[in-house]
Amino acid sequence: MYEILFFSLVLGSCYALMTAGFNLLLGVARIINLAYGAYMALVAYLYSGFSESMPVPIAAMLAMAISVALGTFGWIILRFIRRDEVLMIVVSLAIALLIEGALIWGYGPYQRVVPALVSGSLGWVSAQWLLAILVSVAVLAGYYIIIGRTVIGKKMVAIAENADLALMMGINPAKVYLFTTFLASLFASLASLMISPFLTVSPQVAWLYLTIVLSVSIVGGLGSVGGSLIAAFLISFAERFSAYYLDPSVEPFVPLLLIILVLLFRPQGILGRGATRWA
């Protein structure tokens, strides 16, 4: 019971972290990135690959460095087509396929074990669980500090709220977008390092990550980081507890049920913005 409660917290904080990155891209840079899950899978593979030939912490840092650099400059591509939502969906999907294909090419289509970053445990609480919670909380807290206290953070908020107005006020968007893609890549990479050790990872793990991210952000409100925090825990708790009290096989349907309920009764999500004005 306590174990489930705690593990829900662990997963919830990972969900929150990964979705925060996705929603940052969406909310600030207006980038729809369906390759987000594939990107997280890439991080897991890099890390697991490096860890075969070097100590775990170094492997993790190397994987982070490479993937954050790739993401920061890579996702900017999607900015160029942001005028067309559908095109962005399609192109990012193509990128997802490319990444998935590259993983199969580089590592083979097999399942892999991703080593935990830290070993050992405190009673029934494994150290990786604690680390996952700590990192997620620390990063998200850091995020809110950046948003609230720093100039670049305030610019991000301004652009998210009204891009045209922000431009008129003389904010240079290029830097802000780059910072946004950097943060998003950082969140995605860290989240992947935290959550992947709990799973058996194959190239298809990309869609699992993507489904989680999409469910959480739809339930929480597309583009809303705050909403995704609430939704992340809602979904992780609902998943774990339904698996425990009902049947493990219902678990995958829980996020879906939540999505459908939300879309029926509150299409903009828990904290999403309403429709724009018209006529």
Residues in the site for other proteins, rule: CB under 8 A? 26, 32, 34, 85-87, 89-91, 93-98, 100-102, 104-105, 108-109, 207, 211, 214-215, 218, 222, 249, 252-253, 255-256, 259-260, 263-264, 267, 278-279
Q: What's the gap between Cα 114 and its chain centre?
A: 18
CB of 26 to other proteins, least distance (A): 8
Select 62 or 208, whichever has its Cβ closest to other proteins: 208
Spell out the SS3 assignment of 114-131.
CCCCCCCEECCEEHHHHH
Residue 182's CB is within 10 A of a number of other CB atoms, namely 17
Which region holds residue 239: left if phi is over 0, alpha if psi is between -120 and 50, else beta? alpha
Q: Distance between CA atoms of 252 and 263, rounded to whole angstroms?
A: 18
Select 167 or 256, whichever has its Cβ closest to other proteins: 256
Select 133 or 230, whichever has its Cβ closest to other proteins: 230
CB of 274 to other proteins, least distance (A): 13
Say which amino acid occupies 245.
Y
CB of 239 to other proteins, least distance (A): 13
Select 149 or 277, whichever has its Cβ closest to other proteins: 277
CB of 80 to other proteins, least distance (A): 11
Which region holds residue 30: left if phi is over 0, alpha if psi is between -120 and 50, else beta? left
Select 137 or 250, whichever has its Cβ closest to other proteins: 250
CB of 216 to other proteins, least distance (A): 11
Q: Distance between CA atoms of 268 and 248, rounded to whole angstroms?
A: 30
